[in-house]
C-alpha cells in the first residue's frame, strides 16, 4: 500500500508549509497512471494526519484521467486502463496526462 507513504509525505509537506498553523483542507491532483487508489488514499490520509497540524483536515482529490497523444493517428486518446496503447493499435504514444501526483492547494487557519 504505497498510499500510506504518499500520504505521510503530503502531511509532512503541508505541516512544514503551515508553520504550526492548523491545516484545514488539502487538495491533491492524482493521475490515473499513478496507481493511487482514492479510497486507500483517504484512509491513509486520516492515519498519517493523526497527531499533526493536519489532523482532521479535509482531503480533496482531483482525479485526472490517463490521456495519450498517438503519433500514428495524430489524436489524443483517453486510456481505459493503465496500458499505454492507442485504440488504433499503435504503441507510438506520448502520455500527456495521468502521471500527476502533487499538492494543488492547502487551506490553513
DSSP code per residue over 13-71: HHHHHHTTSPEEEEEEEEEGGG---HHHHHHHHHHHHTTSTTTT-EEEEEEE--EEEET
The answer to whether the annotation marks 15 as part of a ligand binding site is no
User: Which tens digits make up the pLDDT trace of 36-95?
Assistant: 999 999 999 999 999 999 999 999 999 999 999 999 999 999 999 888 899 999 999 999
Q: Which of 69, 100, 66 is nearest to 86 (CA)?
A: 69
Residue 3 CA to residue 77 CA, distance in Å, equals 27
The answer to whether the annotation marks 73 as part of a ligand binding site is yes
Domain that holds residue 58: 2-66+99-108
Give this prediction's pTM: 0.88
> Which pLDDT does position 22 carry in this prediction?
98
Structural domains in the chain (count): 1
Q: What is the H or E stretch that residue 94 is in?
A: strand 93-97
The answer to whether the annotation marks 102 as part of a ligand binding site is no
CATH number of the structural domain spanning residue 24: 3.30.2320.50
The answer to whether the annotation marks 70 as part of a ligand binding site is yes
Is the predicted pLDDT of residue 1 greater than 70, yes or no? no
Contact predicate 51/33, CB 8 Å? no
> Which pLDDT does position 23 carry in this prediction?
98
Q: Which whole number is the average pLDDT over 7-31? A: 98
Identify whether 28 is part of a domain. yes
Amino acid at each position: 500500500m504505497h498510499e500510506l507513504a504518499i500520504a505521510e509525505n503530503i502531511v509532512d509537506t503541508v505541516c512544514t508549509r503551515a508553520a504550526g498553523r492548523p491545516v484545514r483542507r488539502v487538495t491533491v491532483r492524482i493521475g490515473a497512471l499513478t496507481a493511487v487508489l482514492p479510497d486507500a488514499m483517504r484512509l491513509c490520509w486520516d492515519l498519517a494526519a493523526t497527531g499533526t497540524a493536519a489532523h482532521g483536515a479535509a482531503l480533496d482529490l482531483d482525479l485526472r484521467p490517463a490521456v495519450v497523444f498517438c503519433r500514428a493517428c495524430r489524436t489524443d486518446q483517453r486510456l481505459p486502463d493503465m496500458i499505454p496503447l492507442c485504440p488504433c493499435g499503435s504503441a507510438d504514444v506520448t502520455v500527456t496526462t495521468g502521471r500527476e501526483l502533487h499538492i494543488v492547494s492547502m487551506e490553513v487557519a
